[in-house]
Structure 1
Amino acid sequence: MGAKEELEQLNRIEQKLSKLIARYNQTQEALEKAHQEIRQLELMVKQKEEEIKNFQNQENITKIVNTIAADAASATELKLKINEYIREIDKCIAYLRD
């Protein structure tokens, strides 16, 4: 094999290597975007779970209030009071976490 053929072969290898590096970089970028999307989706799931939990708590409060309260006015007052207690408890929990 002559020097010219070796040089041509080396150039082809260099071109292939450049293409591989470009593909690798594209793959890395796509992977990073996928990781970012996963983090965003995980955050959304966490928020939705919190919303569901709050909804379930409100539903449970309504059931408790309807069972305890004799009339609509006292039911509303009791519901507000329970919600206030829950907010205070949540504040205490948040304080203890810090």
Structure 2
Amino acid sequence: MQEYENNPIFGHSIHSRMDQEILKSSLNGLERKILVLLNEHKGLKNQLKTLQGENQDLRQSILLRDDQLSNFKNQVKITKIVDHIHPEDSEVSELKRKVDEYIKEIDKCIAYLSK
């Protein structure tokens, strides 16, 4: 500690062993606080990274759900069209059958995407 005696950075000289011990204790306390802050910073960085990953996953999930909702809306529109077709005509009946098959295929695709 002799290099600190009469050092202008400290603004005074260190005269006693007691002053040196107080300074040493203060420095040790600061070091502990710095280590605590560094550990907390590291933990917060890890937490941020985890939350950013979860956020990205949730955004993807929202996009998938939006697509599913759009498909369901299309399915409802198709169903309404099919319900308004008059079944007397054989071509219309064939069209209705094909639309029903199309709806079943859409349902299979949605079920697959939901997995």
Query: Same fold by TM-score, threshold 0.5 exceeded?
Result: yes
In 1: Cα distance, 2:97 partner to 2:31 partner: 77
Provide the C-alpha distance between the structure 2 equivalents of 1:6 and 1:69, rounded to a whole number of angstroms. 96
| Aligned residue in 1 for 2:50 | 33
State the match for 2:106 in structure 1.
Answer: none
Aligned mates of 1:23, 1:17 — CA distance in 2: 10
Task: Name the aligned partner's letter for residue 76 of structure 1.
Answer: R
1:68 counterpart = 2:85:
yes
Shift of 1:80: 6.1
Instruction: Give per-residue Cα distances to partners, 1:57-76, cap 9 Å, x unaligned.
Output: 01111111221252684211
Gaps in structure 1 of 5+ consecutive residues: 84-98
Residue 38 of structure 2 corresponds to 21
Identity across matched positions, percent: 22
1:7 corresponds, among 11, 24, 31, to: 24
Distance of 1:58 and 1:20 partners within structure 2:
56
CA distance in 1, matches of 2:83, 2:74: 14
The aligned amino acid for 1:39 is: Q
Q: Which letter maps to 2:84?
A: T
Larger Rg: 2
Aligned with residue 50 of structure 1, among 48, 61, 67: 67
More divergent stretch after superposition (33-42 vs 59-68): 59-68
Rounded Cα–Cα distance in structure 2 between residues aligned with 1:35 and 1:3 = 47
**When you count helix as a share of all residues, which structure comes out higher?**
1
Query: Over aligned residues, Cα RMSD in angstroms?
Result: 2.3
Q: Give the paired residue count.
A: 82
